[in-house]
Amino acid sequence: MFKIGDYVAHYKEGVCEVMSIGKLNISCSDKEKEYYTLKPLYDAGGTLYTPVDNEKRQIREVISGEEAQALIDDMLNIEMIGVADEKRRELSYKEALLRNQCRDWISLIKTSYIRKMNRLASGKKVINVDDKYLNIAEKFLYGEFAVALGLPKDEVKGYISGYLKRES
């Protein structure tokens, strides 16, 4: 169970702070259940409610700084999503996002980024599906890495790039 003030990773909204825990007085809520009231860290206008029992695994603990650094260390070894069919690729991208795991987001980012660069290099247009999911995965990954590493979110991409350049 999470506590008020904890940061959690929400499968659709990214990093959120637990603002309160308790029963809700909202018509669509189960009056017998307790809910977390979540405030997305990078969306000033939103509030989310998710059951404390978390049966659908909508939230999980944010990774630690050590786990984030280990993922960065292993980024070059994380495999891309290997789906050639365009329609199946989008489904694979959606599934990767919904699993709510940083490793899956890295795989998605690598896949869509490399596809984008290859298309541009051969004079082709970027596919909207790749761009859309690349942006979502980066938002989730960089938001979580920012919390885990104690960095401003807008500095995470540069931190990762700089680190990978030093290591290669």
CATH code of the domain in which 13 resides:
2.40.10
Q: How confident is the model at residue 41 (pLDDT cuts 50, 70, 90)?
A: very high
CA atoms of 45 and 87, how far apart (whole Å): 33
Tokens standing for residue 20: 């309160």
Residue 79 lies in a domain: yes
Confidence (pTM)? 0.90
The whole-chain average pLDDT of the chain stands at 91
The verdict on 81 and 159 lying in the same domain is: yes
Specify the amino acid at residue 54: N
Tokens standing for residue 166: 């030093």
DSSP state of 58: -
The verdict on 56 and 74 lying in the same domain is: no
Computed from CA positions of residues 92, 94, 99, 105, in that sequence, does the dihedral angle turn out positive or negative? positive
Residue 78, pLDDT > 80, answer: yes
What is the span of the domain harbouring residue 57?
A: 7-61
Residue 1 lies in a domain: no
Residue 46 lies in a domain: yes
Instruction: State how many domains the chain has.
Output: 2
The verdict on 42 and 69 lying in the same domain is: no
The verdict on 18 and 32 lying in the same domain is: yes
Per-residue pLDDT reduced to its tens digit, 80-132:
998 878 789 999 999 999 999 999 999 999 999 998 899 999 999 988 988 99
